[in-house]
């Protein structure tokens, strides 16, 4: 059974930083691209960042480029999202997810490309 558990969310002032973690189990972690999405009430889930299964390629939505960094540790089965220079617009529930396909050669930014999701962690940025 695949499980993803996010942690690290919280309340932070604008300009501050948070690091989200996603602990994965039940799947060969190193075979799957990992991604972070976020969602606010009444809106669709939005792609934030992804890191290829091999760890050698990352992809970010324009809104977070230069501020967020995605990484992964295969030995610990954990993916991270380091978020710096946070803005009130970053306020959302953040979800990690694993790709549907094993060792996909490209990074997918659509939620339909991911089959397992964590429960989400709330990030609130005050102005």
Give the pLDDT confidence score for residue 52 in this predicted structure. Answer: 97
pLDDT digits (tens, 9 = 90+) for 43-93: 999 999 999 999 999 999 999 999 999 999 999 999 999 999 999 999 999
Whole-number Å distance between alpha carbons of 36 and 51 = 9
With bands split at pLDDT 50, 70 and 90, how would you rate the model's confidence at 94? very high
pLDDT digits (tens, 9 = 90+) for 20-51: 999 999 989 899 999 999 999 999 999 999 99
Tokens of 11: 């309340």
Whole-number Å distance between alpha carbons of 83 and 12 = 11
User: Sheet holding 68-73: strands in order across?
Assistant: 3-7, 18-25, 78-83, 68-73
Q: 119: left (phi > 0), else alpha (psi -120 to 50), else beta?
A: alpha
């Amino acid at each position: 059974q695949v499980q993803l558990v996010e942690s690290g969310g919280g309340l932070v002032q604008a300009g501050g930083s948070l690091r989200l973690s996603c602990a994965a189990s039940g799947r060969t972690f190193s075979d799957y691209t990992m991604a972070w999405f976020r969602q606010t009430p009444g809106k669709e889930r939005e792609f934030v960042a992804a890191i290829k299964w091999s760890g050698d390629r990352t992809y970010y939505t324009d809104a977070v480029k230069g501020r967020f960094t995605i990484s992964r540790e295969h030995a610990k089965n954990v993916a991270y999202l380091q978020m710096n220079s946070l803005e009130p617009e970053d306020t959302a529930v953040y979800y990690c997810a694993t790709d549907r396909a094993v060792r996909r050669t490209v990074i997918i930014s659509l939620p339909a490309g991911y089959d397992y999701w964590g429960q989400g962690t709330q990030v609130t940025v005050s102005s």
